[in-house]
């Protein structure tokens, strides 16, 4: 008489199992060389990844492959099938979805949506520029951004109270990290574009995204600093968690609490990447594409905002 109950319990357990991929590989999008001093340093290379993003992913237990710009849809489909998540980094670019990192973000965004719609779990994390590009991709290439003044400023986050229980990031966040993020100026902001609440609504971004945190710029303009997709494991951060531990040339926070709390975001993201079993066909293919095949270049001495970058001749 207990057999149906036992079978029901077993079925419930099996269907709720979460894939735990202990060897996650994360793709980081390259971007066009936007700053003249980098172009002068490596004139034969036309794209780069700041090494701080690679270090942040590695510190959370992931490996990195570069994902190049200006490729075909088939290329990005192949990438998504092989890696376990995509990080869209900060930087600078023209907001044109037909070229550069704007184009690759747009491609990856729509491919990842289809993959998730098919029942898979494929996360994307966008940081600063990446945050902005994800918003643009979600509304067909339209630009919802407003000029603002939040460059080289450290801020605490202002959590929207009604969003905490809905938030992928905050509903499971340890209390000590939550307290640091909401009370101490530990998020590094380096952006001259913002998404305001007004534009967020008028451009219908609220159909796809939930606003999670707010901040104010130097001119008291309120902007949205964290977004999460309503039905997808996509997160955008207007601030830079990778800078707290790995970048030294600006006014970024380097206290214990700043470094400790910043780690949460990449830890969370890499753990989300463990929830699918995408993989390379063989080990040699993975080894040939890992970031370890490329050298870093020390650029901080050129008054760069980065310590090190990877250059690519695409």
pLDDT digits (tens, 9 = 90+) for 25-40: 999 999 988 766 666 6
**What is the pTM assigned to this prediction?**
0.92
Strands 31-32 and 47-50: antiparallel
pLDDT digits (tens, 9 = 90+) for 45-96: 789 999 999 999 999 999 999 999 999 999 999 999 999 999 999 988 777 7
Q: What's the pLDDT at 2?
A: 44
Q: Is the pLDDT of residue 188 over 80?
A: yes
69-78 contacts, C-beta under 8 A, 24 or more apart? 69/29, 69/30, 69/31, 69/32, 69/99, 69/100, 69/101, 69/103, 69/104, 69/314, 70/99, 70/100, 70/103, 70/104, 70/314, 71/104, 71/107, 73/107, 73/111, 76/104, 76/107, 76/108, 76/111, 77/111
Share of the chain above pLDDT 70, in %: 91
CB 270 within 8 A of CB 45: no
148 token code pair: 């603002």
Question: What is the average pLDDT across 291-314?
Answer: 91
CB 107 within 8 A of CB 99: no
Binned at pLDDT 50, 70 and 90, residue 313 comes out as: confident
Q: Is the pLDDT of residue 12 over 60?
A: no
Q: Name which of 250, 292, 22, 273 is nearest 151 in CA terms.
A: 250
Architecture of domain 23-312: 3-Layer(aba) Sandwich (3.40)
Q: What's the pLDDT at 314?
A: 77
Q: What's the pLDDT at 36?
A: 65
Question: What is the average pLDDT across 106-118?
Answer: 98
Within 8 A by CB and 6+ apart from 4, the residues are none
Q: What's the pLDDT at 67?
A: 98
CB 65 within 8 A of CB 288: no
Q: Name which of 184, 195, 183 is nearest 238 in CA terms.
A: 195
Give the catalytic positions in this structure.
128, 240
pLDDT digits (tens, 9 = 90+) for 233-249: 999 999 999 999 999 97
Within 8 A by CB and 6+ apart from 196, the residues are 146, 221, 222, 223, 224
| Whole-angstrom Cα Rg for the chain | 20
Q: Is the pLDDT of residue 17 over 70?
A: no
Binned at pLDDT 50, 70 and 90, residue 163 comes out as: very high
Q: Which residue has the higher pLDDT, 61 or 19?
A: 61
Q: What's the pLDDT at 94?
A: 74
d(CA 203, CA 49): 30
pLDDT digits (tens, 9 = 90+) for 190-245: 999 999 999 999 999 999 999 999 999 999 999 999 999 999 999 999 999 999 99
pLDDT digits (tens, 9 = 90+) for 252-301: 999 999 999 999 999 999 999 999 999 999 999 999 999 999 999 999 98
Measured CA to CA in angstroms, residue 307 lies from 47, 124, 186, 249 at distances of: 16, 25, 19, 7
CB 218 within 8 A of CB 276: no
d(CA 19, CA 272): 10
d(CA 141, CA 45): 27
Q: Is the pLDDT of residue 18 over 70?
A: no
116 token code pair: 């998730």
The structural domains of the chain, with segments of one domain joined by +, span: 23-312
d(CA 143, CA 84): 28
């Amino acid at each position: 008489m207990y057999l149906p109950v036992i079978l029901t319990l077993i079925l419930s357990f099996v269907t709720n199992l979460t894939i735990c991929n202990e060897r996650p590989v994360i793709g980081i999008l390259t971007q066009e060389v936007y700053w003249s001093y980098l172009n002068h340093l490596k004139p034969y290379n036309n794209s780069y990844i700041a090494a701080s993003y690679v270090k942040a992913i590695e510190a959370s237990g992931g490996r990195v492959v570069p994902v190049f710009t200006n490729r075909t849809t088939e290329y990005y489909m192949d990438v998504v099938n092989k890696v376990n998540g995509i990080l869209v980094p900060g930087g600078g670019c023209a907001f044109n979805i037909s070229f550069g990192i704007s184009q690759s973000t747009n491609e990856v965004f729509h491919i990842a949506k289809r993959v998730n719609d098919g029942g898979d779990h494929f996360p994307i994390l966008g940081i600063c520029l990446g945050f902005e590009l994800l918003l643009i991709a979600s509304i067909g290439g339209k630009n919802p951004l407003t000029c603002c003044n939040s460059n080289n400023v450290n801020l605490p986050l202002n959590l929207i109270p009604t969003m905490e229980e809905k938030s992928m990031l905050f509903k499971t966040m340890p209390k000590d990290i939550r307290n640091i993020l909401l009370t101490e100026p530990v998020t590094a902001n380096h952006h001259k574009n913002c998404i305001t609440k007004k534009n967020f609504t008028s451009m219908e971004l609220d159909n796809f995204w939930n606003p999670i945190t707010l901040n104010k710029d130097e001119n008291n303009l309120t902007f949205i600093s964290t977004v999460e997709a309503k039905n997808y494991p996509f997160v955008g951060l207007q601030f830079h968690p990778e800078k707290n531990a790995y970048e030294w040339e600006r006014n970024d926070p380097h206290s214990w609490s700043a470094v400790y709390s910043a780690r949460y975001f990449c830890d969370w993201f890499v753990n989300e990447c463990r929830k699918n079993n995408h993989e390379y066909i063989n080990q040699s293919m993975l080894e040939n594409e890992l970031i370890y095949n490329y050298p870093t270049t020390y650029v901080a001495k050129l008054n760069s905002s980065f310590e090190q970058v990877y250059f690519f001749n695409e």
